[in-house]
Amino acid sequence: MARHLITSALPYINGIKHLGNMVGSMLPADVYARYLRQRGEDVLYICATDEHGTPAELAAKERGLPVDEFCAQAHDAQKAVYDGFALAFDYFGRSSSPQNVEITQHFARKLNENGFIEERAIRQVYSPADGRFLPDRYVEGTCPHCGYDKARGDQCENCTRVLDPTDLIDPRSAISGSTDLEVRETKHLFLLQSKLQREVEEWVAAHENEWPHLSSSIARKWLTEGLHDRAITRDLDWGVPVPADTWPELAAEGKVFYVWFDAPIEYIAATKEWSDQDPANRDWKSWWYESQDTVRYTEFMAKDNVPFHTVMFPATELGVREPWKMVDYVKSFNWLTYYGGKFSTSQKRGVFTDQALDILPADYWRYFLIANAPESDDSSFTWEHFTATVNKDLADTLGNFVNRVLSFSKKRFGDEVPAGSAAGDAEARLGEEIARLLAEYEEQLDALQFRKAASALRALWSAGNSYLEEKAPWLEIKTDQDGAALTLRTAMNLIHLYAVVSEPFIPTTAKAMREAFALADDTATWVTPDRAKSLDAVPAGTPFTVPPVLFAKLTDEDLETYKERFGGAPE
Residue stretches of the annotated binding site for ATP = 345
Q: Which residues are annotated as a binding site?
A: 143, 146, 156, 159, 345
DSSP annotation of 155 reads B
Q: Contact at 8 Å (CB) between 504 and 38?
A: yes
Tell me how far the alpha carbon of residue 552 is from its chain's centroid: 26
Sign, CA torsion 24/27/33/39: negative
CA pair distance 97, 119, nearest whole angstrom: 26
> Got the DSSP string for 262-319?
HTTHHHHHHHHHHHHH-TTSPPTHHHHBS-TTTEEEEEEEEGGGHHIIIIIHHHHHHH
The amino acid at 466: S
Classify strands 329-333 and 132-133 as parallel, antiparallel or unpaired.
unpaired
Closest listed residue to residue 24, CA positions, set 263, 351, 374, 344 = 374
Query: Element (H or E) spanning 379, and its range?
Result: strand 379-381
DSSP annotation of 322 reads S
Helix axes 450-471, 481-501, angle to 10 degrees: 170
The amino acid at 267: Y
CA pair distance 388, 249, nearest whole angstrom: 62
Instruction: Give me the helices (H) in 472-528, please.
Output: 473-476, 481-501, 507-514
> What is the Cβ-side half-sphere exposure of residue 315, based on CA atoms within 13 angstroms?
27
Q: Contact at 8 Å (CB) between 335 and 380?
A: no
What's the Cα-to-Cα distance from 465 to each of 213, 418, 421, 545, rounded to whole Å?
A: 37, 19, 20, 20
CA pair distance 494, 423, nearest whole angstrom: 14
- Categorise residue 177: left if φ over 0, alpha if ψ from -120 to 50, beta otherwise: left
The amino acid at 239: G
Listed as own residue / partner, the contacts of 272-276 with beta carbons closer than 8 Å and 24 or more positions apart are 272/99, 272/103, 273/48, 273/91, 273/93, 273/94, 273/97, 273/99, 274/44, 274/46, 274/90, 274/91, 274/93, 276/99
3-state helix, strand, coil in the chain (%, to 5): 50, 15, 35
Q: Which residues are annotated as a binding site for Zn(2+)?
A: 143, 146, 156, 159
Tell me how far the alpha carbon of residue 524 is from its chain's centroid: 27
DSSP annotation of 324 reads B
Tell me how far the alpha carbon of residue 442 is from its chain's centroid: 20
